Chain A
Amino acid sequence: MTRYIIRRLLQAIPLLFIISLIIFIMMQNMGDPVATMGGRRVTRSEDRIRLTRQLGLDKPVIVQYLYWLVGNDWAKTDMDGDGVAETPGKRKGVLRGDFGLSLVNRKPVTQVIGERLPNTLLLMLVAEAIIISVALLVGIYSALHQYTALDNVITTSTFIFYSMPVFFFALLAMYIFAVNFKAWGLPYLPTVGMFEPEAGKSASQVAWHMILPVATLSFGFIAGYSRYIRSTMLEAMGQDYIRTAKAKGLPRPQIVYIHALKNAALPIVTLIALDLPFLLGGAIVTERIFGWPGMGRLFLDHVDRSDTPVVMGILMMIAVAVIIFQIIADVLYAWLDPRIHYK
């Protein structure tokens, strides 16, 4: 197993290199970062020329990629525009831990991402915990009570929720529980943000402000996961070993939660392990609507301004996480199912 993990990690190195090169080249065609530096007005041509030079955007794409990867402290830049490169570069490159500076705010990329990642993790992990718990409860109940009235209600509800666009659910929830509840004189939830300025940022304020975004993030996934669990549980409950367990007279909870669920959980665990890395990317729509300061919004804001260093930083972080969680999924799979061996 250890050799397998090491081999997978070594294989990831060229993969990450290829991914980074492809994304970098694609980013060059995503827009002109200097175009939006004029604010609402078109950037003056003198400023475009100067900024393009000073920010190193006048270099060929492959040179820009090289600087991103290995830095430019071995090269010089023409900062004064006299055609002679005179100023030594300061970037160390990704391979030496320097992801560069954001073109938008000149902050280090690691700082830009570091400021948002905890907020995203808080939101997404709470949502994921709720999704898994509720989906398990609903899925198992539904499987054990197949074709009952409540199962039919659950099935119908899950299809409705699963097919409902996130933005629609988010705005609907906001208008009902925040805007209208307040207008009707009922206890109401906040519309946006993480806390009220007068109250200050406290754990209770953050938790209160998380209710609507977490609900928005959860509803679709609960619907999807619960259908998946229902189906795998139904399959497991029809297996010979369950019949044997029943014949042996084992208590029903033991049959359901030890024998059936363990086997039914195998594909679910894989699914969750593969979903986890994308939690780092945040939830673009939910964060945007509820003004939650997470990674999804960060990504969107910086893509809009063609901020290659920040976008590269986010995408590479997700790429690394995908590779790591895929390995974790494989390991978990072998752990849960002793029949599986990796060489």
Chain B
Amino acid sequence: MKNRRLFSFLVSLVVIAAFLAACTPAAPATEEPTAEPTAERKVATFIWTQEYDTLNPLYTNMWFVTVLYPIYTCQAWWFDDQNNPVPYLVTEIPSKDNGGISEDGRIITLKLRDDIQWSDATPITSADFKFTYDMVMADGNAVSSRAPFDLTESLETPDERTVVVTFTEPFAPWLARLFAGQSGAALLPAHILQPVFDENGTIDTAEWNKAPTVGCGPFVFQEWESGSFARFVVNENYWGPRPKIDELFFRFVPDDASQVAALKAGDGDVGTFFAMSDMPELEAAGVVIMKSLSGYNEGWYINQHPEKGNPALQDVRVRQALAYGFNRQKLVDDLLLGRAAVPATDWDNTSWEDPSIEPYTYDPEKAKALLEEAGWVDSNGDGVREKDGVDLVLKYGTTNREVRQDTQAVAQQELAEVGIKLELLSFDSDIFFASYAEDGPSANFSLDIIEYSDSPDAPDPNSVVWRCAEIPSDENPAGVNPTGFCDEEFEALWAKQETQVDVAERQQTFHQITKMIFEKAFWIGLWQDPDYFGFSSRIINVKMSGATPFFNVVEWDIAQ
């Protein structure tokens, strides 16, 4: 009797759980019910290893969301497979010739198309741009970033089709960040969110953030079930050509091995962020690997903080010895199966790359010679060089991503052969990238070599991690410069490029910057780190952009 009751109890719990699962508040109020699947319906399934945090572009910098901007939201322009801007909400890309950029480079004028509208058929006007700007700057909104609007003087809307943005100084990166690119804001629907802001003083908790049922992309949000999936269906009020695929279905699968299995089994059409070592297996299963040149490059930032850094690394010869003593080509050949190249600069794979710079070659003898020239010798025969009684021991830290930990092990082995001892440390991302205030290892100068992959504001080359003002300290606990290096000449070049609206002139400045970084070995590249996507062979017409990868999603199709 008692066992029967226990059994009944368990059965009841299962039934209740099944009922609750069926009632999961999956479908936020949508405008139209889930379409009944039909034989002709074309559905592309994405295997997404990270779930969205939010779908409100103002509240996220998560790559797995920002990469979707061309799908469900809209920006002033996209970037094509050559990373060239393509007008989207605007009639043309602003330039000095068409009057879109003022002579002093401070004022950018956007001229909007007159046929653009939200998915509920409300016209998109300059008021939406103004509203988006206001929401970014509103103190009540804890948005993820205020850039670049916190560098502006004003945003004005003289008429429904004109947006005038005035920067306090000429701002060269406007093309990649002003209502464009993954680092820039995408448009918010004022007619939906203004009432929310008026009522609550914030849009932090707006329903639209997790269910943007009114959008302006070729697809419109339909459903998102936490941890499970999200659906985007064709926007029937889209002003452009109708997408050839009816639905984009995103399945959240956090495990890399499961993603690979799902792609191989045909349970997914699109995957990304798999290890390079998985690519041969995927290709053998008919998955087509495509590359998005996002400007990311994996490398070592060398801590040169004058007080907190290892004194050994103040010497350029020791830094260069690190580059000569580590066979990075062998690393990418063995660990990454030769699918990546060793970057010479942090701007490899972008139009800002200086083609005259070649990576340091592997030359252990030269590394040894440089170290000896710098006074580091192994006098006690323990395999580690020393100077003034101090061993050449460097702390090398990164995140606990597998490929990075493998790299650490290889580097430790190879540099030991030239007499440099590496102490290896690895951390969770949120600990590694924690701020100086939180005693984060990439910010508190406790590490000598800091490895991660960073990108400029692709396709713009601007970056803040080299700026003097970003050196973390007690007075500046939120600084993000991991090198602690500040040099007057170097800083002047950075300040100069930021205001150079002329592309050719700016390129020259960048070549000077990259030459300095390379020659003085402030940064040592490990591998070019573009984003890889895998597509099942039934998905056709795909082109990949580096800045906005899914820019031509309207043209994608499913082969019958």
Contacts and interface: CB of A to CB of B under 8 A. Distances in A.
B145 A47 contact: yes
A52 B470 CA distance: 17
B34 interface: yes
Given A40-B455, A106-B54, A192-B47, A31 B430 contact: yes
Contact of A291 (B20, B41, B254): B254
Given A79-B140, A105-B53, A106-B209, A39 B61 contact: yes
Interface in A195-219: 197-201, 203, 206
A49 B229 contact: no
Contact of A193 (B23, B54, B228): B228
* 7 closest A-B pairs by CB: A293-B227, A31-B430, A39-B61, A118-B20, A32-B434, A121-B17, A48-B478
A48 B435 contact: yes
B444 to A, nearest CB: 12
Contacts of A101: 204-205
A119 interface: yes
Nearest to A126: B14
B22 A203 contact: yes
15 contacts: A31-B428, A31-B438, A40-B296, A43-B433, A45-B480, A105-B54, A106-B205, A121-B20, A121-B21, A125-B17, A171-B261, A188-B265, A197-B251, A291-B254, A291-B258
A115 B225 contact: yes
B139 A80 contact: yes
Contacts of B231: 197
Interface string B30-49: 00001001000101010100
B480 A40 contact: no
Interface stretch (A4-12, A158-166, A297-305): A297-305
B25 interface: yes
A178 B6 CA distance: 35
Contact of B139 (A47, A49, A79): A79
A121 B13 contact: yes
Given A116-B226, A194-B228, A45 B18 contact: no
Candidate in A106, A114, A125, A182 with the most chain B CB atoms within 10 angstroms? A106
A191 interface: yes
B66 interface: yes
B275 interface: no
B257 interface: yes
A79 to B, nearest CB: 4
A38 interface: yes
Interface string A15-38: 000000000000000111111111
Interface of B: 2-3, 6, 10-11, 13-14, 16-18, 20-26, 34, 37, 41, 43, 45, 47, 51, 53-54, 59-63, 66, 139-140, 142, 144-147, 150, 183, 204-205, 209-210, 225-229, 231, 247, 249, 251-255, 257-258, 261-262, 264-267, 296, 428-435, 437-438, 440, 442, 453-455, 464-465, 470, 476, 478-480
Given A54-B142, A105-B54, A115-B225, A199 B430 contact: no
Candidate in B23, B226, B470 with the most chain A CB atoms within 10 angstroms? B226
B111 to A, nearest CB: 30
A92 B470 CA distance: 37
Interface residues of chain A: helix, strand, loop or mixed (majority): helix
A197 B455 contact: no
A179 B437 CA distance: 48
B190 to A, nearest CB: 20
B354 to A, nearest CB: 22
A121 B13 CA distance: 8
Contacts of B432: 35
B227 A191 contact: no
A240 interface: no
Nearest to A32: B434
Contacts of A232: none
Contact of A293 (B34, B210, B225): B225
Given A42-B465, A293-B226, A35 B435 contact: yes
A49 B147 CA distance: 13
A42 B254 contact: no
Given A87-B140, A125-B17, A129-B14, A106 B258 contact: no
A190 B37 CA distance: 19
Contacts of A121: 13, 16-17, 20-21
A50 interface: yes
B459 to A, nearest CB: 14
A289 B17 contact: no
B2 A336 contact: yes
A55 B142 contact: yes
Contact of A32 (B140, B261, B433): B433
B54 A44 contact: no
